[in-house]
Amino acid sequence: MIRAICRCMLLISALCLAVPLAQASPLAAQLFGQHAQPSRAAPMPHGSYARGCADGLVALPDTGPSWQVMRPSRNRAWGHPEMIALLKELSEFAQTLGWAGLYIGDISQPRGGPMASGHASHQIGLDADVWLLAPRKINLSRAARENAPFQSVRSADQRSLNANWTSAHAALLQRAARDPRVDRIFITPPAKIALCKAATLSDRDWLQKIRPYYGHDAHFHIRLKCPAGADTCQPQTPTVDTLSQGGDGCDASLQWWVTDYLTKPVASAKVTNKQTDTPRPKGARALTLTDLPKTCHRVVQTP
Ligand SMILES: [Zn+2]
């Protein structure tokens, strides 16, 4: 009887301990994922691309004159106004290349923050994925946009591009990289190799912003710089200039992606900071509110 009471008390105290601990560190992805609307404060990114949140994000409309949002049920088409403006402009440019426009993938959740699935970054409204599938039409039904298969531009052995890659892709990436608002662009390494080969000798500065990255063969990822006056936005380091040692990045570090990275299991498991641009200490899904800037507590806790 006494043993039973003791066991019961132990159980109660364990429960008492467990509850405050759980309350002290809820998963940020869960909290941010509950918001269907942005905060009403002025647009402002808080923190870093992979550890932050955002105020005042605006939605890219589901369908526009030159774009469509893909996988709309995710409700991740929210971005800083600079990002929304850039995507609209880039999609107009895509039309000059003979495409119907652009298919836009994830930007951010309504208040940014970590996501329960998918990306490590995309947390402050300054990252966006653009599909590499050239749109033939931009009046796809909602169901079609939910289910449209991804289309890779990369060969099966991951060393080169396939027939889906065209000169329009190259022109689109060049245009995006030249935009002064853009910090860097992530794309499958064979695409960067192709861009390096095609660029003229005298005009290669923009190539520095094109960063090779694993995956990114069915979409490319645009990352904007912290907008002017965004004091709580943390710029990314190392910069693309540091990573490329002041050059265009068309060097041995680029070849590594289509050689050792693919052939040496140990090397590929140890993708270094220099090679990926992004340190990965803690997965986005594991982040708690206390891992994010203090401002993000207010962003997520305001109804
Ligand atoms: Zn992305």
Q: What is the pLDDT of residue 3?
A: 54
Residue 173 CA to ligand 1 centre (angstroms): 15
Are 90 and 107 spatial neighbours (Cβ–Cβ below 8 Å)?
no
Range with the lowest mean pLDDT among 18-32, 91-105, 175-189?
18-32
- Give the rounded percent of residues in the chain with a pLDDT score beyond 90: 78
Task: Note the helical H segments in the chain.
Answer: 2-24, 28-33, 81-96, 142-147, 167-178, 189-198, 240-243, 252-256, 260-263, 265-269, 273-276, 295-301
Q: What is the pLDDT of residue 274?
A: 52
How confident is residue 242, by pLDDT bands cut at 50, 70 and 90? very high
Burial code (b: 16+ CB inside 10 Å, e: under 16) for 64-94 equals bebbbbbbeeebbbbbbebbbebbbebbebb
SS3 label, residue 210: strand
Residue 184 CA to ligand 1 centre (angstroms): 11
Residue 72 CA to ligand 1 centre (angstroms): 16
Residue 4 CA to ligand 1 centre (angstroms): 54
Q: What is the C-alpha separation between 24 and 214, in angstroms, rounded?
A: 35
How confident is residue 266, by pLDDT bands cut at 50, 70 and 90? low
The DSSP element (H or E) to which 259 belongs, if any, is none
How confident is residue 276, by pLDDT bands cut at 50, 70 and 90? low
Are 52 and 294 spatial neighbours (Cβ–Cβ below 8 Å)?
no
pLDDT over 50 (residue 96)? yes
The residues placing their C-beta within 5 Å of ligand 1, an ion, are 129, 221
Rounded average pLDDT over 103-114: 98
Residue 15 CA to ligand 1 centre (angstroms): 40
Task: Show me where the domains of the chain are located.
Answer: 26-301
Which residues are registered as beta bridge partners of 258? none
> From the CA atom positions of the chain, what is the Rg in Å?
22
Considering only the top CATH level, what class is 26-301?
Answer: alpha beta
Which residue from 228, 220, 204, 199 is spatially nearest to 80, judged by alpha carbons? 228
Angle subtended by helix axes 167-178 and 81-96, to nearest 10: 150
Token pair 């402002």 is found at 44
Q: What is the pLDDT of residue 13?
A: 46
At residue 45's C-alpha, the angle toward residues 23 and 130, to 5°, is 105
Q: What is the pLDDT of residue 279?
A: 52
Residue 224 CA to ligand 1 centre (angstroms): 12
How confident is residue 11, by pLDDT bands cut at 50, 70 and 90? very low
Q: What is the pLDDT of residues 13-32, one digit of tens each?
A: 444 444 444 455 789 999 99
Q: What is the pLDDT of residues 30-57, one digit of tens each?
A: 999 999 999 999 999 999 999 999 999 9
Q: What is the pLDDT of residues 120-173, one digit of tens each?
A: 999 999 999 999 999 999 999 999 999 999 999 999 999 999 999 999 999 999
Residue 76 CA to ligand 1 centre (angstroms): 11
Q: What is the DSSP letter of 55?
A: E
Rounded average pLDDT over 183-202: 95
Q: What is the pLDDT of residue 164?
A: 97
Per the prediction, the chain carries an average pLDDT of 89
How confident is residue 264, by pLDDT bands cut at 50, 70 and 90? confident
Q: What is the pLDDT of residues 224-240, one digit of tens each?
A: 999 999 999 999 999 99
Q: What is the C-alpha separation between 273 and 43, in angstroms, rounded?
A: 30
Rounded average pLDDT over 263-285: 62
Residue 12 CA to ligand 1 centre (angstroms): 45
pLDDT over 70 (residue 10)? no
Which residues are registered as beta bridge partners of 127? 223
- pTM flag (> 0.85): yes
Are 249 and 192 spatial neighbours (Cβ–Cβ below 8 Å)?
yes
Contacts of 170 (CB under 8 A, 6+ apart): 194, 195, 198
